Amino acid sequence: MPFDALRSSSSSAVSVGASPEAPGSNAPIGIFDSGLGGLSVLRAVRAALPDERLIYAADSLYAPYGERDDDFIADRTLAICEWLLSQGAKALVVACNTATSQSIAQTRESLAVPVIGVEPGIKPAAITSQTRVVGVLATAVTLRSARFQALAERHTGDCRFILQPGYGLVQAMERCDTDSPELVALLRSYVQPMLDANADTLVLGCTHYPFLDEAIRSIAGDRLTLVDTSVAIARQLERQLDSFGLRAVPAQDQDQTQAQAIELPRFYSTNDGQTLRQLAASLLGLDMVVEHVVISSRRLGLESDPV
């Protein structure tokens, strides 16, 4: 699947639908990423669900997760999801491939709201490819995870996957670098071998990477079909909201006071938030204040060098 489905256990359905303290349909949706990449998911969610209130949390102080150990990733994922719940979130989107691959199951077991994760679009890529050669660009943690390996094995068939860790790409994005000569040269070193192997499809296996679309196009032209799962994630979120009766009331069905209460996304960062604000402005057209937030977690005190 190009996205994670909500766990299907009956306990989660009861807790979402029956708890008297469960958030209502007008509560916000929480979106979380290790840094700025989840903005690509936020963009898709805003387009698909324009009446929903959104909270975006970036754990930029500890990005990139692709260089962290599994326990740290699971610890931070759960802590930030719990913080989003404390802000009244009715559903959560873990808009980070690395966090999904390492900790989504544990997070779902611990929380009683719909939790949507992300996975590289292996299945649609395998269906789309004509040459039967597909490139996969993702973090090293995602590529080595058991979750990804199982996903790839399910859809390999006669399709060859060229797996390429995107070393340095997240760091560049976190600096708001999407098109510098240095970045393009780095991307070329990853993409050109795929082209030489006759790949015709490239899976963007990190939510940061859709913002590198133009840079990739400058290298590959039309030779590669780019698979970005952000739209599929937004559709899955829409289905889950409808399933649990959590969909926001459309603006045209609200009175004027309620309609005016629909707000732009709220942005939070564990870092100073300047790069998040710059990227939101340049890529999404949103000039928003980014609030700094401190989110404690079990491993936080064990990290001597968080940057």
* Distance between CA atoms of residues 74 and 286, nearest Å: 30
| 116 neighbors 94 (Cβ within 8 angstroms) | yes
Chain center to CA of 245: 23
* Distance between CA atoms of residues 211 and 231, nearest Å: 14
Please name the residues in contact with 38: beta carbons below 8 A apart, sequence gap of 6 or more.
Answer: 31, 32, 56, 58, 93, 95, 96, 207
106-116 residues labelled b (16+ CB within 10 A) or e (exposed): ebbeebbbbbb
* Distance between CA atoms of residues 135 and 162, nearest Å: 5
| Sign, CA torsion 169/171/174/178 | negative
The residues annotated with a catalytic role in the active site are 96, 206
* Distance between CA atoms of residues 1 and 228, nearest Å: 13
| 166 neighbors 37 (Cβ within 8 angstroms) | no
